[in-house]
């Protein structure tokens, strides 16, 4: 469970405010116009952006002041989710050994299983640059699986993929999230993504991140700000 209590995040064009609870195991789409602060919201939850006010709790524990590396959060960015000079296996291994040490046979087994789960078995020794965009996305998701943290934040990591690949990725995200029992917040520009994948929608517009609304309800009676943006 993720609890945002009256938070205010500094943005270029004024603050972004949010005050709501995300129940555990929910998968939410974060929708809204460009520049409204969708990524800002995720950055604040992940600890990459300071807040003016408010507190963030995760499963009852306050994380407002925690540095990014101490938050129970894994995040995928738009790009640069893998170190280009390290092999896929080495990249994934870092999730289990952040000190970069040698993996135990157990851990190596885990890495291999995670790769199999995302359909990349046998790609251990490849460098990310030799993989397609979809494969890179899958490798990054395999690492999220290994990180096994209760909150997963996705900042449009699949924006550059074609429609078919994106559908495949969303399926994979669902699978990973269900397996971990994790809460997911995914930024997207595409209402279709939200319909396909999300239990609910967080609308970010006009300096406000609105509380999540069930997906069906949201699209049946879309809020004014959303209609303006979709046109």
Partner 1 sequence: MALVSLTLGPIVAVVLRAGGLGAIGPGDWHAFRFTLFQALLSAGFSVILAIPVARAFARRRFAGRGVLVTLMGAPFILPVIVAVIGLIAVFGQNGVVNAILTTVGLPKIDVYGLHGVVLAHVFFNLPLATRMLLQAHLAIPAERFRLAASLGLGPWAFFRTIEWPLIRRIAPGAFAVIFVICLTSFAVALTLGGGPRATTVELAIYQAMRFDFDLGRAAVLAVMQLALALIAGIVALKVSHMDGFGVGRDRQVARWDGRSLWARGWDAAWLAIAASFLLVPLGAVILKGAPGLALLNADTYRAAGHSLAVALGSTALCLAWAFPLASKRGELLSLAAIAISPLVLGAGIFLMLRPYVNPFSMALPVTGLVNALMALPFALRILRPEAEAVEADFARLRATLRMTRGAWLRLVWLPRLRRPLGFAGGLTAALAMGDLGVIALFADPDRTTLPLQVYRLMGAYQMEAAAGAALLLLGLSLALFWLFDRGGRADA
In order, the DSSP letters of 119-161 are T-TT-TT--GGGS-HHHHHHHHHHHHHHH--SEEEEESTTTTS
Of the pair 82, 203, the CB lying nearest partner 1 is at 82
HEC sequence for 94-109: HHHCCCCCCCCHHHHH
Of the pair 99, 220, the CB lying nearest partner 1 is at 99
Alpha-carbon distance of 162 to 124, in angstroms, equals 25
Report the nearest approach of partner 1 to the CB of residue 90 (Å): 8
Report the nearest approach of partner 1 to the CB of residue 77 (Å): 7
Strands 200-205 and 27-31: parallel
Report the nearest approach of partner 1 to the CB of residue 6 (Å): 25
Report the nearest approach of partner 1 to the CB of residue 14 (Å): 24
Residues that bind partner 1 (CB under 8 A): 46-48, 67-70, 73-75, 77, 80-81, 83, 85-86, 90, 94-95, 97-101, 147
Of the pair 152, 225, the CB lying nearest partner 1 is at 152
Report the nearest approach of partner 1 to the CB of residue 73 (Å): 7
Contact by Cβ (8 Å): 139, 118: yes
Place of tokens 């239990």: 199
- Among 222, 145, 210, 221, which residue's Cα sits nearest to residue 184? 145
Q: What does the buried/exposed string (b/e) look like for 7-23 if buried means 16 or more CB atoms within 10 Å of the residue's CB? A: bbbebeeebbbbeeebe
Of the pair 48, 219, the CB lying nearest partner 1 is at 48
Of the pair 38, 90, the CB lying nearest partner 1 is at 90
Report the nearest approach of partner 1 to the CB of residue 55 (Å): 20
Of the pair 91, 215, the CB lying nearest partner 1 is at 91
- Among 48, 36, 41, 30, which residue's Cα sits nearest to residue 207? 36
CA dihedral (37, 185, 98, 141) positive or negative: negative
């Amino acid at each position: 469970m993720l609890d945002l209590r009256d938070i205010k995040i500094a943005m270029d064009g004024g603050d972004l405010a949010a005050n709501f609870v995300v129940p555990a195991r929910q998968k939410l789409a974060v929708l809204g116009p460009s520049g409204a602060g969708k990524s800002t919201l995720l950055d604040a939850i992940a600890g990459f952006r300071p807040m003016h006010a408010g507190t963030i709790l995760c499963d009852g524990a306050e994380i407002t002041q925690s540095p990014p590396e101490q938050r129970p959060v894994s995040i995928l960015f738009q790009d640069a989710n893998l170190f280009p000079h390290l092999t896929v296996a080495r990249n994934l291994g870092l999730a289990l050994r952040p000190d970069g040490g040698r993996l135990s046979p157990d851990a190596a087994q885990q890495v291999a299983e995670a790769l199999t789960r995302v359909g990349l078995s046998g790609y251990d020794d490849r460098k990310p640059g030799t993989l397609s965009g979809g494969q890179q996305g899958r490798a990054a998701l395999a690492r999220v699986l290994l990180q096994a943290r209760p909150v997963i934040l996705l900042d449009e990591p699949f924006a550059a993929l074609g429609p078919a690949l994106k559908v495949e990725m969303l399926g994979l995200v669902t699978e990973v999230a269900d397996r971990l029992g994790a809460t997911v917040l995914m930024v997207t520009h595409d209402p279709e993504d939200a319909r396909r994948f999300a239990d609910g929608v967080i609308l970010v517009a006009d300096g406000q991140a609105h509380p999540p609304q069930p997906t069906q309800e949201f699209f049946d009676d879309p809020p004014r700000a959303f209609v303006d943006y979709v046109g």
